[in-house]
């Protein structure tokens, strides 16, 4: 069933939208898919949205886009943080959220085959029924889709031990820019036939192909998990403690740092008293058969820096600590408009990074709240501005730029796990250099010479 184009929709887009099985040009539908959760506001709305329900739908949309020269913006759940699925006039959104079936879950092989619209938490619930889990766990697990996770090579808290999305994707089924179907990777744990097209697709933000199916590695749920939390006089001490954990040569499965201002916001939202107990907070877990022994070593490494170390001994207390950490972003969203930074630094330089962030806040006048996946050196400095202010222009943009340069000075990176999208393109060349960008554009041209797949994103 096609749809009639709204008057303002251009001819090429109208031709595409009129020919597919399910699409909309309603203003409300277009507004709903115009951006993600990055705070980026496109200057205009996309021309329309195609609702794909099958691989054939995707193939058809891509072929029509190629024929009519219409840029297609693939979209999962729209929870991205870098404007990689933002779309504007002249573009059509390809919504994959209806392709949301778990096609297979093999508990013996510990493998799942899913459509891209499956939510991360849904997959984890299905895996959990077999004593398994899917490792990547973005904070948005309840609302983000596996397809979006793959498009951004998403991380999360557990990747401290279990790696990012790339380490959990065995194979992909991808629709290329000319409508051909590509299979990458395989159904086995290891394999090295040909180039690693699987890794090339992961994190490419839909610019090299559209993922329509993924074969994922599940892992055994840990037999035991141990938890500790610690309070510190200030965030520099907490960062130093996190670096000491790494230097102690243990492998936490989770090591989350929360700074004082964020603790205040959490207290305000949850009625807790974290800020009174310390100027910064570290939450750690270890897992496996020796979880408690490993946690003893971790706690010893942290103790010299801490004002208080907690070893919760029941499930409820543990869950309350995890819930507080998870509440960080929602709590900040009650204070204003939030833009979530995502820099990565060498793990021994966390303290310098948090000091540098404090200085940036002082200099730019933008409030910065910091949480970090400390075991990976991945910081999420969150800029909070007034609801009517932009997070992508003015002082907020200046602060984002300074954050990038801070990361670079420390030998780090612009983005640890959220991706580039539209939001971070300005600093991409500075980090990657001319040769790398030229190579990336050459690969892009080889796969999508017309440039119809999510143009302007990722590279």
Measured from the CB of residue 196, what is the shortest distance to a copy of itself in angstroms? 5
Beta strand pairing status for 210-217 and 169-175?
antiparallel
Per CB under 8 A, the segment of 60-68, 262-270, 313-321, 416-424 that binds a copy of itself is 416-424
For 392, phi and psi rounded to 5 degrees?
A: -115, 0
Instruction: Determine contact, residues 282/157, Cβ cutoff 8 Å.
Output: no
**Quick one: tokens of 451?**
């440039």
> Exposed/middle/buried for 271, CB within 10 Å: 0-12, 13-18, 19+?
exposed
Assess 304 for contact with a copy of itself (CB under 8 A). Answer: no
Give the nearer residue to a copy of itself in terms of CB position, either 55 or 320. 55
**Helix spans in 202-282 (H):** 235-247, 260-270, 274-277
Give the nearer residue to a copy of itself in terms of CB position, either 66 or 263. 66
Assess 288 for contact with a copy of itself (CB under 8 A). Answer: yes
Assess 437 for contact with a copy of itself (CB under 8 A). Answer: yes
- As separate numbers, helices (DSSP H) first and strands (DSSP E) second, the chain gives 16, 18
Residue 21 CB neighbour total at 10 angstroms: 15
Assess 129 for contact with a copy of itself (CB under 8 A). Answer: no
**Quick one: tokens of 359?**
């200085």
Assess 66 for contact with a copy of itself (CB under 8 A). Answer: no
Measured from the CB of residue 432, what is the shortest distance to a copy of itself in angstroms? 5
Per CB under 8 A, the segment of 14-22, 88-96, 117-125, 281-289 that binds a copy of itself is 281-289
Assess 206 for contact with a copy of itself (CB under 8 A). Answer: no
User: Which of residues 420, 422, 423, 452 is near a copy of itself by CB under 8 A?
Assistant: 420
Q: Can you give the length of the chain in residues?
A: 459
User: Which of residues 216, 415, 422, 452 is near a copy of itself by CB under 8 A?
Assistant: 415
Give the nearer residue to a copy of itself in terms of CB position, either 288 or 312. 288
> Exposed/middle/buried for 452, CB within 10 Å: 0-12, 13-18, 19+?
buried
Assess 352 for contact with a copy of itself (CB under 8 A). Answer: no
Quickly list DSSP for 330-399. HHHHTTSEEEE---B--GGGHHHHHHHHHHHHHHH--EEEEEEEGGGTEEEEEEEE-TTS-SSSHHHHHH
Assess 318 for contact with a copy of itself (CB under 8 A). Answer: no
User: Which of residues 57, 234, 259, 417 is near a copy of itself by CB under 8 A?
Assistant: 417
Assess 364 for contact with a copy of itself (CB under 8 A). Answer: no
Assess 208 for contact with a copy of itself (CB under 8 A). Answer: yes
Assess 80 for contact with a copy of itself (CB under 8 A). Answer: no
Give the nearer residue to a copy of itself in terms of CB position, either 18 or 288. 288
Give the nearer residue to a copy of itself in terms of CB position, either 406 or 428. 428
């Amino acid at each position: 069933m096609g749809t009639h184009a709204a008057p303002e929709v251009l001819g090429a887009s109208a031709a595409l939208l009129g020919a597919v099985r399910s699409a909309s040009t309603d203003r409300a539908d277009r507004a709903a898919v115009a951006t993600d959760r990055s705070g980026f506001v496109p200057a205009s709305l996309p021309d329309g949205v195609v609702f794909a329900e099958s691989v054939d739908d995707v193939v058809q949309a891509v072929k029509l886009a190629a024929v009519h020269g219409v840029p297609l913006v693939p979209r999962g759940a729209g929870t991205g943080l870098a404007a990689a699925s933002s779309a504007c006039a002249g573009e059509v959104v390809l919504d994959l959220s209806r392709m949301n079936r778990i096609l297979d879950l093999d508990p013996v092989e510990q493998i799942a085959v899913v459509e891209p619209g499956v939510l991360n938490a849904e997959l984890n619930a299905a895996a959990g029924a077999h004593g398994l889990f899917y490792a990547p766990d973005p904070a948005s697990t309840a609302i983000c889709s596996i397809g979006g996770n793959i498009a951004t090579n998403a991380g999360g808290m557990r990747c401290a031990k279990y790696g990012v999305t790339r380490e959990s994707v065995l194979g992909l089924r991808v629709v290329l820019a000319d409508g051909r179907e590509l299979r990458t990777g395989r159904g086995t744990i290891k394999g090295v036939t040909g180039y690693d097209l699987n890794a090339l697709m992961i994190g490419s933000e839909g610019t090299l192909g559209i993922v329509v199916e993924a074969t994922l590695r599940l892992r055994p749920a840990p037999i035991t998990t141990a938890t500790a939390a610690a309070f510190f006089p200030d965030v520099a001490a907490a960062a130093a403690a996190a670096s000491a954990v790494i230097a102690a040569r243990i492998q936490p499965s989770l090591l989350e740092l929360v700074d004082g201002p964020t603790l205040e916001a959490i207290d305000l939202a949850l009625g807790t008293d974290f800020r009174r107990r310390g100027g910064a907070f570290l939450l750690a877990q270890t897992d496996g058969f020796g979880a408690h022994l490993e946690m003893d070593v971790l706690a010893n490494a942290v103790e010299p820096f801490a004002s208080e170390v907690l070893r919760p001994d029941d499930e409820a207390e543990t869950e309350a600590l995890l819930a507080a950490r998870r509440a960080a972003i929602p709590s900040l969203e009650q204070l204003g408009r939030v833009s979530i930074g995502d820099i990565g630094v060498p793990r021994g330089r966390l303290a310098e990074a948090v000091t540098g962030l404090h200085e940036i806040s002082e200099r730019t006048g933008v409030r910065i709240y910091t949480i970090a996946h400390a075991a990976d050196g991945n910081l999420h400095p969150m800029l909070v501005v007034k609801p009517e202010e932009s997070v992508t222009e003015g002082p907020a943009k200046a602060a984002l730029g300074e954050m990038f340069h801070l990361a670079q000075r420390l030998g780090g990176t612009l983005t640890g796990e959220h991706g580039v999208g539209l939001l971070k393109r300005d600093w991409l060349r500075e980090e990657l250099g001319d040769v790398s960008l030229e190579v990336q554009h050459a690969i892009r041209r080889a796969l999508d010479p017309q440039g119809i797949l999510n143009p302007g994103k990722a590279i």
